[in-house]
């Protein structure tokens, strides 16, 4: 007959197990913590490296004692990080990068705990220096998603003949191209042959941030294209009258309001009067459309986008011809998409004008009331701070 454990033997076993627990469990726990720390450090280093590369790509000069605030979601949208990083750290977190002489310090914080202090100006020439070169926007060959691309000469009419044609263009759904002018947010469409920034209205700023964008918002401007049917184009439209009253030579020193947009005299001093191309929209290849649009133009401070702008800013390889067979594709990977149907500057041969509806380029009767997204030119000597993201947009100085 087998004997069981005695009380003393059981107590001895319990003591031994206890001693093992005291020595082994902390070791295991420490090892697990060390392993998790290694994983966290590796992840953070990946995020820090992405932020460093982002700053290198978007800022030409970095001043001492500067702080940059870069949202992780912007690093994902611009291709510096894979979206899977969101499983490890909130995409709404901000990478805080501080520069002190030659030392860089990184941290991942909430956006409220990061204040950008970098006062190194971003100029038009610096933006161009950081642009991807060269891009055939007709075929989207050699174009960089969510970046400023240099337009291949094949898609860029002569700079001498068409100074207000785009020689650089932002492409993709979320490039870091947001700019704050006064209390208003705009997206930079691109840079013209004569070095002006072409910008389009997005919505009102909130606490210095640009989180109200036209692609999500339908409460911006709505006006009719013409009071009555007309075949004379934009120059006789009530929209042009509306725009001319908003910014013209006689009110540059006064504040004016256009629905949700308020411009002070200081804001207006940043604008350049220029040509807007209003030639007809034809069902042709992009290169021919660019020339067709330029057969007519008007000079002013305010306009709308061209149909060609919308084709150029899409990264979809099928968006290259101004024809009904491909226009369904142009709203894809395109930051110029609006939540509501919006007018362009172009007309057709009849009494229709061209609009962007649900991402499509379509003809619309001129008496229809559609969304207006005003377009302006910023002067070539414009200086910007910030990084172009929604939380830290470029600020016009």
Check residue 149 and give its pLDDT.
95
Distance between CA atoms of residues 230 and 147, nearest Å: 39
**Where are the alpha helices (H) located in 2-91, listed in sequence order?**
7-58, 72-77
User: CB of 98 within 8 A of CB of 114?
Assistant: no
The verdict on residue 370 lying in a domain is: yes
Q: In 110-125, which positions are buried (b, 16+ CB within 10 angstroms) versus exposed (e)?
A: eeeebebebebebbbe
Distance between CA atoms of residues 140 and 142, nearest Å: 6
The verdict on residue 300 lying in a domain is: yes
User: CB of 73 within 8 A of CB of 92?
Assistant: yes
Domain count, the chain: 2
Answer left, alpha or beta for residue 354, where phi above 0 means left and psi between -120 and 50 means alpha.
beta
Q: Are residues 194 and 221 in the same domain?
A: yes
Distance between CA atoms of residues 391 and 397, nearest Å: 17
Q: Are residues 334 and 372 in the same domain?
A: yes
Answer left, alpha or beta for residue 247, where phi above 0 means left and psi between -120 and 50 means alpha.
beta
Domain limit, last residue, from 87, 113, 139: 113
Cα-Cα-Cα-Cα dihedral sign, residues 366, 368, 371, 374: positive
Distance between CA atoms of residues 100 and 67, nearest Å: 9
Phi first, then psi, for residue 290 (nearest 5°) are -55, -40
Q: Torsion angle of alpha carbons 108, 113, 119, 122, nearest 10°? A: 50
Half-sphere exposure of residue 185, counting CA atoms within 13 Å on the CB side? 25
Distance between CA atoms of residues 226 and 233, nearest Å: 9
Distance between CA atoms of residues 244 and 242, nearest Å: 6
Q: Are residues 271 and 349 in the same domain?
A: yes
Range of the domain at 365: 122-396
Q: Are residues 224 and 287 in the same domain?
A: yes
The verdict on residue 1 lying in a domain is: no
Q: Are residues 346 and 295 in the same domain?
A: yes
Phi first, then psi, for residue 221 (nearest 5°) are -95, 140
Check residue 196 and give its pLDDT.
97
Phi first, then psi, for residue 395 (nearest 5°) are -115, 125
Q: Are residues 94 and 141 in the same domain?
A: no
Distance between CA atoms of residues 353 and 237, nearest Å: 11
Phi first, then psi, for residue 353 (nearest 5°) are -115, 170
Q: Are residues 271 and 352 in the same domain?
A: yes
Q: Are residues 158 and 73 in the same domain?
A: no
The verdict on residue 264 lying in a domain is: yes
Q: Are residues 215 and 323 in the same domain?
A: yes
- Classified as helix, coil or strand, 77 is helix
The verdict on residue 369 lying in a domain is: yes
The answer for residues whose C-beta is within 8 angstroms of residue 134's C-beta and 6 or more apart is 142, 149, 150, 151, 152, 153
- The whole-model pTM stands at 0.81
Distance between CA atoms of residues 297 and 279, nearest Å: 7
Q: Are residues 221 and 281 in the same domain?
A: yes
The verdict on residue 2 lying in a domain is: no
Q: Are residues 87 and 207 in the same domain?
A: no
The verdict on residue 171 lying in a domain is: yes
Check residue 283 and give its pLDDT.
65
How many helices (H) and strands (E) the chain has is answered by 7, 22
Distance between CA atoms of residues 174 and 375, nearest Å: 19
Q: Are residues 109 and 132 in the same domain?
A: no
Domain limit, last residue, from 80, 113, 146: 113
Check residue 60 and give its pLDDT.
61
Check residue 25 and give its pLDDT.
64
The verdict on residue 74 lying in a domain is: yes
* Strand 132-135, strand 297-300: pairing: unpaired
- The helix (run of H) or strand (run of E) holding residue 307 is helix 307-313
Domain limit, last residue, from 113, 145, 179: 113
Distance between CA atoms of residues 394 and 376, nearest Å: 16
Chunked in runs of 10, what are the mean pLDDT values of the chain (397 residues)? 63 73 66 62 86 78 79 85 85 87 81 78 88 88 92 84 94 93 96 97 91 79 70 80 94 93 95 94 80 91 94 89 62 90 85 83 84 95 88 89
């Amino acid at each position: 007959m087998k004997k069981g454990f005695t009380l003393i033997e059981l107590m001895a076993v319990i003591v031994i197990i206890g001693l093992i627990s005291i020595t082994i469990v902390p070791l295991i726990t420490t090892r697990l913590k060390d392993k998790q720390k290694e994983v966290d450090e590796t992840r953070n280093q990946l995020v820090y490296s992405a932020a460093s590369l982002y700053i290198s790509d978007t800022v030409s000069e970095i001043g001492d004692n500067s702080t940059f605030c870069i949202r992780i979601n912007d690093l994902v949208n611009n291709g510096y990080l894979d979206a899977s990083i969101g499983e490890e750290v909130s995409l709404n977190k901000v990478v805080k990068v501080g520069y002190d002489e030659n030392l860089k310090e990184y941290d991942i914080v909430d956006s409220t705990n990061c204040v950008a202090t970098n006062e190194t100006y971003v100029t038009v020439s610096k933006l161009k220096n950081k642009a991807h070169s060269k891009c055939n926007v007709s075929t989207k060959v050699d174009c960089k998603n969510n970046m400023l691309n240099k337009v291949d000469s094949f898609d860029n009419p002569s700079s001498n003949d068409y100074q207000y044609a785009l020689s650089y263009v932002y492409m993709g759904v979320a490039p870091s191209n947001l700019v704050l002018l006064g209390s208003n947010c705009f997206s930079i469409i691109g840079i013209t042959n004569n070095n002006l920034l072409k910008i389009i209205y997005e919505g009102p700023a909130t606490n210095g941030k640009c989180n109200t964008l036209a692609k999500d918002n339908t409460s911006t401007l709505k006006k009719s294209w013409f009071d009555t049917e007309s075949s004379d184009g934009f120059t006789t439209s009530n929209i042009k009258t509306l725009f001319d009253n908003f910014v013209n030579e006689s009110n540059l020193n006064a504040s004016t309001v256009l629905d949700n947009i308020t411009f002070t005299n200081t804001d207006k001093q940043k604008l350049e009067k220029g040509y807007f191309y209003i030639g007809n929209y034809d069902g042709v290849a992009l290169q021919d459309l660019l020339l067709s649009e330029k057969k007519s133009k008007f000079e002013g401070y305010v306009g709308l986008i061209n149909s060609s702008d919308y084709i150029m800013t899409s990264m979809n390889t099928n968006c290259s011809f101004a024809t009904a067979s491909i226009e369904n594709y142009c709203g894809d990977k395109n930051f110029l998409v609006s939540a509501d149907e919006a007018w362009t500057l172009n007309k057709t041969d009849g009494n229709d004008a061209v609009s962007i509806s649900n991402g499509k380029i379509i003809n619309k009767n001129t008496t229809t009331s559609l969304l207006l997204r005003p377009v302006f030119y910023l002067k070539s000597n414009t200086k910007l701070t910030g990084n172009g993201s929604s939380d830290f947009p470029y600020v016009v100085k």
